[in-house]
Structure 1
Amino acid sequence: MARWRTRSRAAGCGAGREGRGTVRTVRDVRDTRAGRTAKTKDEAPDLPGVWSAYGVLLQHLRKRAGLNQQQLGDAIGYSLEQVASVEQGRRPAKAAFTTAAERVLKAGGVLDVLQDEVDRAKLPRFFRNFALIEAEVVSRFSYDPLLVPGLLQTEGYARAVFAGHCPPLSEEIIDRHTEARLSRQKLLARVPMAELSFIVSEEALRNPVADAEIMRGQWQRLLEVGALRNVEVQVMPASTGFHSGLNGPFLVLETNEHQQIGYVESQEVGCVVRDPAEVSAFGLRYGKLRSQALNAAESARLIEQLVGET
């Protein structure tokens, strides 16, 4: 599986989008002369190290408690195969698994502290570094012209997006990416709260990514999130004409160290932008877009209309 290294825009990173991920760069060339050859389908998958670390710790706690894998599985409601897969690092633990294992093994929170890292490792490889930045932001402003932004997606909508991936993803990978996307949404209710602004194009909202029931649930989700004190959802109406967002999606973030950065992503190529002049331009464009989009109340009324039409 290819490795990716995050590069700044100054280093020549290409543009990109937040629909399915967020941080990536140039593919490492595997040098056969150095003994590194391309993986074949028969080779073991390159699984995240944190899954193995979690598994080793789980096995230690289980043995300390005097349980075998079957007994632990019975106690927490999982099969022998599932427990074995987690211990071997072949399958990531879900939050419910960790909660149950913590209780049965009296782990004192040592498994729970790894859960965020386990979840983050479910994300597409190129997006993981950006997810670390995103989790700690003071503010996050995004413009999305093509899809409902990942932080606002319902499970059904997210699953439909990943199911449409080309080349096709396995059901297991779709499950992992969906779980990881939903886990990122902790940012919406994180304490201390982050200031979050989303501008979504009307075309993105009307695009039937999934069936009518899922789309209705997605629009209702936007209304619910838009009512939060720290979240603003605005719709860019299709009738606006030319505006500065037509050249693609982008994000403007402020880190917990009060550093302003930008982010762009497209076709699973993401780029963190740190150059102050370029980030300043992102901020100016976003301010212009906010003035051109419907305000929060008008946007909510438009989304309510969409719900009523289905």
Structure 2
Amino acid sequence: MSGEEEPGWEVEPDDEWGLAVLATVGRQLKLRREAVGMRVADFAKAIGYGEDLVYKVESGKRIPRPEYLDKADEVLGAGGLLAAMKEDVEKVRYPRRVRALAEREAKAVEVQLYDPLNIHGLLQTPEYARALLLMRRPAYSSEQVERYLSARLARKSIFDRDPAPEMSFVLEEWTLRRPLGGKEALRGQLEHLLRVAELRGVELQVMPMDREEHAGSAGGIEVLKFADGSAVGRSPAVVNGRPVEEPRYLRILELRYGIVRAQALTPRESTTFIEQLLGAT
């Protein structure tokens, strides 16, 4: 596929670290190309991308895809030096706020999550996640959809950590019933939830729609705890949703989350409930 069809992604204008990384990568690519005496037109043809993209990458205005760096390394005889930049470039592909969230999750030893609107991002299948992103209004561009989808899926590496953190999720029943993306996507999502529920250290609970009391009606809850005893939490009902570390705010979030868990089905009851939903889908 040519670079005209895969133009790469742009970094957000306020992402200073991302802009700095792209500027460095672009400068290295340009210096290497000039060192071997290759014109932009010849280089673009050799790696199979458009000249416009080459100019934008070298000027730090576009994020090169991993295969772009691999081809550039090969064509310019860089001996792996250009390909080695893929790790930093991969991080730049994700929006700054998503990177910050992923960094916190990567250090957490305990995670408590409640999302009243959708199945939580860490639990979403690619199909479900894509459906949600495509439903966003005002609509995301195709580039934004792919970027946010990649970032959301990359966060799932938290399940692969050894040891993995203790994770607790509370899911709303209605989010398990609404066939976002179609019935097949919903079936795949329910099957995925059952697989995740079997993981050591993961507890899934469902909040039934028939509950007459609900401590989570004020909004979602997120609490991450770390090995040094510190924690960070977030909820739209507390200081407008900004991350908080102050004990007084964390106490409120943990109190609400604890009550939400007590009001929800137990993990075993929740697994049975999801199996029943899957059988009826």
TM range (shorter): 0.7 to 0.9
In 2, are the aligned partners of 1:62 and 1:72 still within 8 Å (CA)? Answer: no
User: Partners in 2 of 1:187 and 1:209 — Cα distance?
Assistant: 25
User: Partners in 2 of 1:148 and 1:83 — Cα distance?
Assistant: 37
Q: Does 1:69 align with 2:69?
A: no
List runs of 5+ in structure 1 lacking aligned partners: 1-43
Q: Does 1:110 align with 2:81?
A: no
Q: Which moved more, 1:142-151 or 1:62-71?
A: 62-71
Q: Does 1:232 align with 2:206?
A: no
Superposition TM-score, scaled by structure 1 size: 0.70
Once the two structures are TM-superposed, the CA of residue 256 in structure 1 deviates from its matched residue by 4.5
Aligned length: 258
Superposition TM-score, scaled by structure 2 size: 0.77
| Aligned partner of residue 272 in structure 1, secondary structure | coil
User: Partners in 1 of 2:123 and 2:209 — Cα distance?
Assistant: 20
In 1, are the aligned partners of 2:187 and 2:278 still within 8 Å (CA)? Answer: yes
Q: Which moved more, 1:239-248 or 1:107-116?
A: 107-116
> Which residue of the other structure, out of 241, 251, 258, is the alignment partner of 2:222?
251
Structure 2 counterparts to residues 203-242 of structure 1, below 5 A: 203-242=174-213
| Aligned partner of residue 181 in structure 1, secondary structure | helix
Give the equivalent residue in structure 2 for 1:40: none
Give the equivalent residue in structure 2 for 1:199: 170
Once the two structures are TM-superposed, the CA of residue 257 in structure 1 deviates from its matched residue by 3.5
In 2, are the aligned partners of 1:145 and 1:201 still within 8 Å (CA)? Answer: yes
Cα shift readout 1:103-136 (whole Å, capped 9, x = no counterpart):
88543673243145223xx33x555433332232
Specify the code of the residue in structure 2 equivalent to 1:287: G
User: Partners in 1 of 2:51 and 2:186 — Cα distance?
Assistant: 36
User: Partners in 2 of 1:153 and 1:82 — Cα distance?
Assistant: 36
The structure, 1 or 2, with the larger RCO (C-alpha pairs under 8 Å, 6+ apart) is 1
Give the equivalent residue in structure 1 for 2:140: 169
Bigger fraction of residues in helix:
2
Once the two structures are TM-superposed, the CA of residue 157 in structure 1 deviates from its matched residue by 1.4
In 1, are the aligned partners of 2:235 and 2:253 still within 8 Å (CA)? Answer: no
User: Partners in 2 of 1:289 and 1:161 — Cα distance?
Assistant: 25
Cα shift readout 1:8-39 (whole Å, capped 9, x = no counterpart):
xxxxxxxxxxxxxxxxxxxxxxxxxxxxxxxx
User: Partners in 1 of 2:34 and 2:278 — Cα distance?
Assistant: 53
Determine what percentage of the aligned residue pairs are the same residue: 34
